Amino acid sequence: MDGNGRWAAARGLPRLEGHRRGAERIFDIVDHCIDSGIGTLTIFAFSAENWKRPLDEVNGLFKLGEWILRANLTRLSRRQVRLKVIGDLSAMPDFVRLPLEEAIRSSASHQAFTLVVALNYGARQEVIQAVQQIAQEVAAGTLAPNAVDWAALESRLQTAGTPDPDLIIRTSGECRLSNFLLLQSAYAEIVFAPVHWPEFTKEQFQLALDEFAKRERRYGQTPEQLQAKPTA
Ligand code: FPP
C-alpha cells in the first residue's frame, strides 16, 4: 500500500492523512476481491523495518489501525471475512494487539474470504524463525535432516495454510518487493500500479486483475508444453 506519504505531500497534507485515506481504501478492495471470486488478500500494513520511521508516524499508524479495524468490524463480519495476521504481533502495543486478537478469534469460522494483515512483518525474519524451528527439531531428533523439503519449510512459515499469492500489486510505481512474502511469491505475477495507494480504486484494482489475466504462467514449462492437451 505504497504512496500514502507522497499522496499527502502533493496536497500539502500531513503524512498521516495519507495513511488515513489509504486505510479506508482497504475495505473497498476487500469488497471487490469478494465480488471477483478472490479468496485471500494480504495487505502489507506495517513492515518490520517501518519502526525506523518517526515515532509520531509509527504511533499514528497504530492508532489508525485500531480505529479502522473497529470502524469496519461489522462490515467485515457481514461479508464473512476471516481475519489473520502474519508478523510479530507481540511487539505491538496492547491497544492495537488486543482488538486484533479478538477480531482474529471472533472471525475464525468465517468462510467467504480471508484478509491477512502483515503487521510487523518481514519475509527474512519469517524465514529465519522457520529455519530456527527446523534446526531445533532436527537437534531434538524429531525431524530427520533429509525430511527438510519445501513442504517442511512452508508449513513452518507464518503463512502456513494460506495459499501462495497469484498476484502481488505494489502501488505508487515502486518496483520492488521490500521483504514481502519473498518465498511465497516464487511464482507470483507482479503488477506495479502507477498510482498512489489512496487513489487505488476498484477500477485501478480491476486494471491490475485484467493485466494478471493476460499473463501466461508457465512454471518453467515451454509455451508448447502448456498448450499440449493432457493425454486421456
Ligand atoms: C506506505 O506508504 C504505507 C504504510 C507504511 C502503512 C500503510 C498502513 C495502513 C494504511 C494501515 C495501518 C494499519 C495498521 C494496523 C498499522 P508510505 O508512507 O511509504 O508512502 P510514501 O512512500 O509515499 O512515503
Instruction: Report how far ligand 1's centroid is from the alpha carbon of 117 (Å).
Output: 12
Answer whether residue 140 shows pLDDT above 60. Answer: yes
Q: Judge whether residue 229 has pLDDT over 90.
A: no
Amino acid symbol at 16 = L
Instruction: Give the neighbor-by-neighbor strand order of the sheet with 81-86.
Output: 40-47, 113-121, 81-86
Find the mean pLDDT for residues 99-103: 97
Cα separation, 132 vs 23, whole angstroms: 34
Q: Confidence class of residue 230 from pLDDT cuts 50, 70 and 90?
A: low
Nearest CA to ligand 1 atom 6: 45
> Is 165 close to ligand 1, i.e. is its CB under 6 Å away?
no
**Separation of 15 CA from ligand 1 center, angstroms?**
9
Measured CA to CA, the distance from residue 126 to residue 119 in angstroms comes to 12
Count other Cβ atoms within 10 Å, centred on residue 185: 17
Instruction: Give the tens place of pLDDT for each residue, 14-48.
Output: 999 999 999 999 999 999 999 999 999 999 999 99
| Top-confidence residue, 180 or 226 | 180
Q: Is the CB of 50 under 6 A from ligand 1?
A: yes
Summarised one tens digit per residue, pLDDT across range 51-90 is: 999 999 999 999 999 999 999 999 999 999 999 999 999 9
The pTM score is 0.95
Q: Which grid cell sits at 50?
A: 517501518
Map out the domains of the chain as residue ranges. 4-208
- Residue 153's pLDDT is 98
Query: What pLDDT score was predicted for residue 228?
Result: 87
CATH number of 4-208: 3.40.1180.10
Tell the residue nearest (CA) to atom 1 of ligand 1: 2
CB 27 within 8 A of CB 75: yes
Give φ, ψ of 200 to 5 degrees. -85, 90
Q: What is the mean pLDDT of residues 167-195?
A: 98
| Catalytic residue ranges | 2, 50
DSSP H stretches of helix in 79-180: 94-106, 123-140, 150-154
CB distance 5 to ligand 1 below 6 Å? yes
Q: Are the C-beta atoms of 68 and 46 separated by less than 8 Å?
A: no
Residue 81's Cβ-count burial label (10 Å; 0-12, 13-18, 19+) is: buried
**Closest-CA residue to 121 (of 60, 182, 167, 188):** 182
* Nearest CA, atom 14, ligand 1: 65
Residue 44 to residue 106: CA distance in whole angstroms: 22
Q: What is the pLDDT of residue 227?
A: 87
> Could you tell me if the CB of 60 is within 6 A of ligand 1?
no
Q: Please list the alpha-helical segments (H only) found in the chain.
A: 4-9, 15-35, 55-78, 94-106, 123-140, 150-154, 202-214, 223-227
pLDDT at residue 232 tops 60? no
Q: How many residues does the chain have?
A: 232
Query: Helices 202-214 and 15-35: crossing angle, nearest 10°?
Result: 60
Minimum CA distance residue for ligand 1 atom 7: 45
Ligand 1 centroid vs 23 CA: distance in angstroms? 8
In angstroms, what is the span from residue 199 Cα to ligand 1's centroid?
Answer: 13
Q: What angle do CA 174, 177, 181 make, to 5 degrees?
A: 150
